[in-house]
């Protein structure tokens, strides 16, 4: 049995549907235990909401489960950090209680507000110059504007406005704080100035006093675990609480990507959503509307494209067909765009799933394979845009030879990996480490507890290493078939 660690850090991944608490040896990065707890998402059509109090209860349950599994005394815990789902809008009263359920990132009701905000400031270029991103339905500014127009009492009664990870961090430390990474997904934080943008806040009628201060990095120690939170979690009061960050930023830290690690290496995350991103020192300021020019958790930048429909949508298609998710074959002539929740990239919030190209000899396994292909091509189309946002030429042989790191739940699925492999034409690297978001949060906690660079911590842990797969020839016929349908429904993407 490995020796007991002298110091443990906890990384919390509060995602769309569950919370995970990873207990990690701060010195070696050894994953000691992972506690888990679910929480609910409610809503139909474009509505997606969750009760923030359920996130807190799930965090408590996950930490408790992890402590029991870990088998070491709570006194060994030195720090904690939260990585949360991005963009969600949490409005609180003067006692810190939610006024209503949180509007989640995949709630598409705010699409009209996003369009109006984009036009009001002068178009996409005016937004990317300031924030790096163009408002879409997922962005917090659009959700706040929706709330103002549709539930003005809730907006007017708000004493505080938070992102999901901010809400949980404040419960831990008793002080309000966020970080540049998660703040950059609001569309009221400027990556150009590293601060909230007064003009954009005025545009959406939001008083900056309602927002949390922005810590320099996600690893900044913003306070200590309060006695009240410690009692609920079964942890020692006074341990370090890091500012934390958004889930994508934490995944980058967990992979050792950033200023103290690898830069300009692309990542594909296959989860409920599909994302492609890279850590870079180049600030994305003139990007395609398909990209979000986020900040990283460590002072770098994280250009990213995100789709709404990935593993969950493909699993739904498999269930409709009565097939196991791995019982798929290449789609043949069939094309399936599994936009079951609308789509963010391309910006089609009112879209639904589309199936075309059926023949008498099309099989159910091919239809399922076409769902994989449609989801994969949709997110992979933005890969070159991410590289250009890093200041790179995607056609440069050295850039093309950099392996695409594939992470998330889909990275554990044979069909997902092989579909990405033949539709990217790139070498792949499948990290051995699991729970990379939680591991990234644990590295932030270690940074806060020890005054260290979180990316350097994660790089030292070696969490980014894994199985390498050589490139195979690009399946150009499938790519062109899916891309042609995608172009017809989106008017050309990326735009």
What are the tokens at 237? 């009061």
The secondary structure element, H or E, covering residue 305 is strand 301-307
Residues 6+ apart with CB under 8 A from 144: 89, 155, 161, 204, 206
Dist. CA 120–CA 134, nearest whole Å = 12
Residue 41 to residues 16, 101, 178: CA-CA distances in angstroms? Answer: 7, 10, 24
- CA 115 to chain CA mean position, Å: 23
Give the residue among 354, 364, 380 at the shortest CA–CA distance from 332. Answer: 364
CA-CA distance, 367 to 371, in Å (whole number)?
A: 6
Are 405 and 424 spatial neighbours (Cβ–Cβ below 8 Å)? no
Catalytic residues: 247
Backbone angles phi, psi at 470, to 5 degrees: -70, 160
Cis-peptide, bond into residue 346, ω within 30° of zero? yes
DSSP calls for 352-419: --EEE---TT--HHHHHHHHHHHHHHHHHTTHHHHHHHTT--TT-HHHHTS-EEEESGGGG-HHHHHH
d(CA 371, CA 353): 10
What Cα–Cα distance (Å) separates residue 85 from each residue in 17, 24, 127, 319?
10, 21, 22, 26
Alpha-carbon span 359 to 384, nearest angstrom: 33
**Nearest 5°: phi and psi at 80?**
-145, 145
What burial class does residue 214 get, using C-beta atoms within 10 Å of its C-beta: 0-12 exposed, 13-18 middle, 19+ buried?
Answer: buried
- Asked whether the CA dihedral 154, 155, 160, 162 is positive or negative, the reply is positive
Say if CB 415 and CB 326 are below 8 A apart. Answer: yes
CB atoms under 10 Å from CB of 414, counted, come to 10
Q: Specify whether the CB–CB gap between 117 and 49 falls below 8 A.
A: no
């Amino acid at each position: 049995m490995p020796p007991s660690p002298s110091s443990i850090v906890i990384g919390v991944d509060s995602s769309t549907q569950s919370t995970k608490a990873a207990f990690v040896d701060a010195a070696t990065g050894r994953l000691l235990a992972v506690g888990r707890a679910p929480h609910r998402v409610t809503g139909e059509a474009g509505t997606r909401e969750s009760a923030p109090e359920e996130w807190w209860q799930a965090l408590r349950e996950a930490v408790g489960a992890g402590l029991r599994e870990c088998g070491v005394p709570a006194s060994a815990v030195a720090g904690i950090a939260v990585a949360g789902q991005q963009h969600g809008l949490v409005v609180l009263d003067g006692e810190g209680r939610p006024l209503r359920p949180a509007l989640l990132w995949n709630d598409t009701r705010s699409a009209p507000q996003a369009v109006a905000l984009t036009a009001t400031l002068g178009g996409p270029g005016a937004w990317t110059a300031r924030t790096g991103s163009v408002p879409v339905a997922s962005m917090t500014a659009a959700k706040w504007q929706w709330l103002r127009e549709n539930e003005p009492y809730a907006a007017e009664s708000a004493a505080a406005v938070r992102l999901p990870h901010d809400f949980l961090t404040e419960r831990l430390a008793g002080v309000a704080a966020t970080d540049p990474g998660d703040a950059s997904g609001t569309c009221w934080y400027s990556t150009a100035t590293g601060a909230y943008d007064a003009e954009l806040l005025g545009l959406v009628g939001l008083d900056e006093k309602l927002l949390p201060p922005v810590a320099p990095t996600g690893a900044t120690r913003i306070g200590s675990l309060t006695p009240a939170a410690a009692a609920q979690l079964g942890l020692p009061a006074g341990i370090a609480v890091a500012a934390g960050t958004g889930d994508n930023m934490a995944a980058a830290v967990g992979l050792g990507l950033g200023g103290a690690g690898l830069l300009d290496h692309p990542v594909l995350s296959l989860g409920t959503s599909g994302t492609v991103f890279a850590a870079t020192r180049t600030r994305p300021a003139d990007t395609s509307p398909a990209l979000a020019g986020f900040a990283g958790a460590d002072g770098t930048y994280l250009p990213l494209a995100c789709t709404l429909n990935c593993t969950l949508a493909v699993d739904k298609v498999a269930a409709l067909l009565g097939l196991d998710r791995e019982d798929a074959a290449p789609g043949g002539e069939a094309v399936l765009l599994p936009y079951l929740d609308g789509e963010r990239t391309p910006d089609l919030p009112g879209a639904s799933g589309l199936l075309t190209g059926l023949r008498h000899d099309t099989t159910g396994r091919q239809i399922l394979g076409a769902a994989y292909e449609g989801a994969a091509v949709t997110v992979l189309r933005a890969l070159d845009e991410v590289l250009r946002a890093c200041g790179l030429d995607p056609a440069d042989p050295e850039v093309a030879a950099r392996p695409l790191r594939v992470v998330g739940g889909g990275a554990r699925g044979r069909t997902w990996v092989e579909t990405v492999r033949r539709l990217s034409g790139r070498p792949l690297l499948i990290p051995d480490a699991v729970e990379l978001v939680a591991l990234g949060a644990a590295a932030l906690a270690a940074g806060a507890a020890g005054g260290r660079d979180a990316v350097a911590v994660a790089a030292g842990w070696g969490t980014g290493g894994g199985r390498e797969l050589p490139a195979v020839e690009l399946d150009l016929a499938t790519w062109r078939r899916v891309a042609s349908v995608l172009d017809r429904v989106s008017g050309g993407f990326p735009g």
